[in-house]
Structure 1
Amino acid sequence: MQRKVTKAILPVAGLGTRFLPATKSIPKEILTLVDRPLIQYAIDEARAAGIEQFIFVTSRGKSALEDYFDEAPELEEALRRSGKTALLEALAATDVASGAIAYVRQHRPLGLGHAVRCARHLVGDEPFAVILTDDVIAGDPPCLQQMIEAHAETGGSMVAATEVPRAATSSYGILDIAGEMGDLVRLRGVVEKPKPEVAPSTLAVIGRYILTPRVMAHLDRQTPGAGGEIQLTDAIAEEIRAGGQVFGFRFRGRRYDCGSKAGFLQATVAFGLARPDLGEEFHAFLEEEVGFRRAAE
């Protein structure tokens, strides 16, 4: 029987320079899609998958993340006195029980693999998930829940995967596929950011992982790879070479790259249209706006 995955690492130490000047004073993970910050989407997905402990790998200037998940007694009391029950319920979703969140510091930006390794002592000898908040995924059930259900059958390690244009392979970890198993693919390797002409496939790793503690051991021995950073995909590739089982999982849902401005805007439109309280009005506005632009052309 596979051990249940109950811990998730959320690397949130990045500076968010692509969103300056907004990220000069607030962490990128607090930027909002409609009325929820990116970090809330990640936490909600993790909770739906049965995650009980959340490990944030942070850096200087990220104190707003800690405050976000704390209680706000004065605000709650003001809402209670005003009878704003719906807002109180929305606020309650941001609370995380004492002891359920741990914070570790990544003192230098040495790569995703290094960020994950910073949490090793909190993971111990258990399988664990990694969630990258830049990748917001609309799925039913949520992506990580799909993966954990699949992992209960396969064991080993697993990465979420999606098809990308061949011209874009140099921006991703790309899967070298050994065999197809429906939604799952068995891997013979993972190549970090290969040039399109040498990429082994167009199936790319995106920001959801379930990893065995052996991957942490590989990270301990990892040397800098692409971009001069310690790459998580290199440690996963080492796990494959060591005989470990690693699978790619084609999740059901749509991924938005909220690490880019265009992707963030696309996600804002998609999530706004999906809201029952906003969708109709927002859709009418978009149609009107497109009509104005076409008329101007």
Structure 2
Amino acid sequence: MVKKAVIPAAGYGTRFLPATKSSPKEMIPIIDTPVIQYVVEEAVASGITDILMIIGKGKRAIEEHFDRSPVLEETLAQKENFEMLEKIRAISEMANIHFVWQKEMNGLGDAILHARCHVGNEPFVILLGDTLVQSEDGPVTKQLIDVYNQQKGPVIALEEVKPELVSRYGVVDGESISDNVVKANDWIEKPSVEEAPSNLAVASRYLFTPEIFDYLEKTLPGKNNEIQLTDAMREMVKNHPMYGMKFKGKRYDIGNKLGFLKTNIEFGLKDPEIGAELKSWLKDFAGEL
């Protein structure tokens, strides 16, 4: 059973400066909920009970968000705002959440290496802390776990992207073995349109077996002098069967300003409290453009 998750959340968030100078990008809200809370909720809905977050300097707010807040809880109780009190308490009770510090920003691969002691000899999932994924078939992380239970090997979430955009992503080189599962031969980081073996891009959710740590330890710094997870994956697939899973749904990249604004609008339209009013306003506003 897959019960452990790792959420890397140590990056500087430079694309959101100056907002991220003292506030983690993972705490930027979509409507009224921090991005990283949505990520944790996805993990919990997938059956995960133990979560390790990799954090860095300036990320203390993430720890505080998932901790109890007795003063706030007492204030809400005194005001008889019991609905909000229940929501606040639920945040700290969702899962067993642990934290470890990545003291230097040496890449995603290095961040994952910090989870070795937490993971032990168990399979585990990775959810990037600044990206949301939604699927009509349920939590994407749960779908990865289902494929792992069938194939007994690492599984990477994939999304179809426009062929002209493949140079922005890591993509899989593989062969379809079912409607939504690909057996990987290689992983190519940001290929040119001409060199791309497919338009199936890695989509910020991974399920690995512990062997990935052995490959990460041997991986030399690559692009930006950082340890790249994709480099370790390329070596691992030579000796261990690996799979990709195409999910039906959408990935929301909160790591850039335009993606953040689009996500807030889409989530706002679905929000039962403000959705109808926002839709009406958008129609009026669009008519003025």
Q: Place the TM-score, normalised by the shorter chain, in its bin.
A: over 0.9
1:109 equivalent to 2:112? Answer: no
Kept in 2, the 8 Å contact 1:192–1:226? The answer is no
1:157 equivalent to 2:181? Answer: no
1: distance between equivalents of 2:24 and 2:122? 29
2: distance between equivalents of 1:70 and 1:277? 27
1:44 equivalent to 2:44? Answer: no
Query: Which residue is 2:263 aligned to?
Result: 267
SS of equivalent residue, structure 1 residue 93: helix
1: distance between equivalents of 2:200 and 2:27? 30
1: distance between equivalents of 2:262 and 2:278? 14
Query: Which residue is 1:214 aligned to?
Result: 211
Q: CA deviation at 1:97?
A: 6.8
Query: Which residue is 2:56 aligned to?
Result: 59
Kept in 2, the 8 Å contact 1:176–1:190? The answer is yes
1:1-297 equivalence runs, <5 A = 4-96=1-93, 100-140=96-136, 141-242=138-239, 244-293=240-289
| Distance change >3 Å, CA 149–CA 77, structure 1 → 2 | same
Gaps of 5+ in 2: none
2: distance between equivalents of 1:129 and 1:268? 26
Structure 1 residue runs of 4+, over 4 Å off?
none
1:42-74 Cα shifts (integer Å, max 9, x gaps):
000000011111111111111111110111111
Q: Please tell me the root mean square deviation across aligned C-alpha atoms, in Å.
A: 1.4
How many aligned positions are there? 288
Task: Compute the TM-score of the two structures, normalised by the length of structure 1.
Answer: 0.93
Q: CA deviation at 1:204?
A: 0.5
SS of equivalent residue, structure 1 residue 138: strand
Q: CA deviation at 1:116?
A: 0.4
SS of equivalent residue, structure 1 residue 198: coil
Farther-moved stretch of structure 1 (212-221 vs 88-97): 88-97
Gaps of 5+ in 1: none
SS of equivalent residue, structure 1 residue 71: coil
1:7-51 Cα shifts (integer Å, max 9, x gaps):
111111100011111111111110000010011000000000111
SS of equivalent residue, structure 2 residue 201: strand
1:122-156 Cα shifts (integer Å, max 9, x gaps):
11111110000222112241111121122211110
SS of equivalent residue, structure 2 residue 213: helix
2: distance between equivalents of 1:285 and 1:137? 26
Kept in 2, the 8 Å contact 1:157–1:246? The answer is yes
Task: Compute the TM-score of the two structures, normalised by the length of structure 2.
Answer: 0.96
Corresponding letter in the other structure for 2:216? L
SS of equivalent residue, structure 1 residue 241: coil
Farther-moved stretch of structure 1 (28-37 vs 169-178): 169-178
Kept in 1, the 8 Å contact 2:44–2:94? The answer is no
